Amino acid sequence: MSDERRPSTNPSAASRPGPHAGPPNGSPAATLDPPAPGIVYTTPPARASRIPEAPPAPMPARVSLQIDGNTVSVPAGSTILDACRAEGLDIPTLCYLENLTPVNVCRVCVVEVKGARVLAPACSRKVEEGMEVLTESERVQLSRKVVLELLGSSVDTSMAGPREPNGDAARYRQRYGADPSRFGAPAAGAAAHERDDRDPGHHHSPRGPEAALASTVQQPVKVDNNLYVRDYSKCILCYKCVEACGEDAQNTFAIAVAGRGFDARISTEWDAPLPDSACVYCGNCIGVCPTGALMFKSEFDMREAGTWDESAQTTTSTICPYCGVGCAVDLHVQDNQIVKVTSPMDSSVTEGHLCIKGRFGFEFTNTRRD
Partner 1 sequence: MLWGSNARETHPIFFHHLLKGVRNGARLYAVDPRRTSSAEWADVWLGLDVGSDIALANALGREIIHAGLANTEFIDRATSDFEAYRAKVETYTLEYAERETGVPAAAIQELAHAFATADKAMICWTLGITEHHNAVDNVLALINLSLLTGHVGKYGSGINPLRGQNNVQGGGDMGALPDRLPGFQYVENDSLRERCESIWGCEIPARRGWHLSGMFEAMDRGELHALYVIGENPMQSEADRHLTEQRLRGLDFMVVQDIFLTATAEIADVVLPATASWAESEGTVTNSERRVQRVRKAMDPPHDARDDLWIIFEVARRLGTNWGEASAEQVWNEVREVSPAHRGMSYERLEALGGIQWPCWDDQHPGELFLHSRLWEDPVPGLRAPFSAVDHDPPVDRLTEDFPIRLTTGRRLDSYNTGVQSGGFTSPLRRGESLDISPEDAAAYGLADGDRVRVTSRRGSIETPVRIDPSLRPGLTFMTLHFQDDVATNILTIDATDPKSGTAEFKATAIRIEKLPPPTPRAGEPHRAPASV
Q: Looking at residues 9 to 48 of the shown chain, list those that interact with partner 1 (rule: CB under 8 A).
A: 9-12, 15-16, 19-20, 24-25, 27, 29-34, 36-39, 41-48
**Is there a cis peptide before residue 60, judged by omega within 30 degrees of 0?**
no
Q: Which is nearer to partner 1, 132 or 330 (CB)?
A: 330
Give me the least distance between CB of 368 and partner 1, in Å please.
6
The CB-of-21 to partner 1 minimum distance in angstroms stands at 9
Contact call for residue 313 and partner 1 (CB under 8 A): no
For residue 56, state whether it binds partner 1 (rule: CB under 8 A): no
Residue 16 exposed, middle or buried by CB count within 10 Å (0-12, 13-18, 19+): exposed
Rounded to a whole number of angstroms, the minimum distance from the CB of residue 77 to partner 1 is 16
Residue 3 or 199 with smaller CB distance to partner 1: 3
Cβ closer to partner 1: 206 or 273?
273
Q: Could you say which DSSP state residue 155 is in? A: S
Q: In the structure, how many helices (H) and strands (E) does the chain have? A: 8, 12
In total, the chain counts a number of residues equal to: 370
Binding region for partner 1 (CB under 8 A) out of 186-194, 208-216, 229-237, 330-338: 330-338
- Which residue among 124, 263, 337, 345 contacts partner 1 (CB under 8 A)? 337
CB within 8 Å of 134: residues ≥ 6 apart: 68, 111, 112, 114, 140
Shortest Å distance, C-beta 369 to partner 1: 7
Asked if residue 282 binds partner 1 (CB under 8 A), the reply is yes
Would you count residue 314 as binding partner 1 (CB under 8 A)?
yes
Nearest distance from C-beta of residue 287 to partner 1, angstroms: 12
Those residues with Cβ within 8 angstroms of residue 343's Cβ, 6 or more apart along the chain or in another chain: 287, 327, 328, 329, 330, 350, 352, 353, 354, 358
231/243 Cα distance (integer angstroms): 18
Q: Which of residues 234-273 bind partner 1 (CB under 8 A)?
A: 247, 249-251
In the bound state with partner 1, the residue whose beta carbon lies nearer, of 311 and 348, is: 348
Residue 29 or 188 having the CB closest to partner 1:
29
124-158: string of b/e by CB count within 10 Å (b at 16+)?
A: ebebeeebebbbbeeebeebbbebbbebbbbbbbe
Question: Between β-strands 132-134 and 255-258, what pairing exists: parallel, antiparallel or unpaired?
Answer: unpaired
Whether omega for the bond prior to residue 121 falls within 30 degrees of 0, making it cis, is no
Task: For residue 321, state whether it binds partner 1 (rule: CB under 8 A).
Answer: yes
Q: What angle do CA 21, 23, 28 make, to 5 degrees?
A: 80
Check: CB of residue 144 under 8 Å from CB of residue 169.
no
**Binding of partner 1 by 350 (CB under 8 A):** yes
Q: By C-beta, is 240 or 353 nearer to partner 1?
A: 353
Please report how close the Cβ of residue 312 comes to partner 1 at its closest, in angstroms: 13
Task: Give, as ranges, the residues between 204 and 233 that touch partner 1 (CB under 8 A).
Answer: 225-227
Least distance (Å) from partner 1 to the CB of residue 234? 22
Of 155 and 329, nearer to partner 1 (C-beta) is: 329
- Cβ-contact 278, 233 below 8 angstroms: no
Smallest gap from residue 238 Cβ to partner 1 (A): 21
Question: Is residue 362 within the footprint of partner 1 (CB under 8 A)?
Answer: yes
The CB-of-322 to partner 1 minimum distance in angstroms stands at 5
Cα separation, 207 vs 210, in Å, equals 6
Distance CA 217, CA 297 (A): 21
Q: Which amino acid is at 23?
A: P
Given 110, 155, 295, 355, the residue binding partner 1 (CB under 8 A): 355
Rounded least distance, CB 264 to partner 1, Å? 26
Query: Between 46 and 61, whose beta carbon lies closer to partner 1?
Result: 46
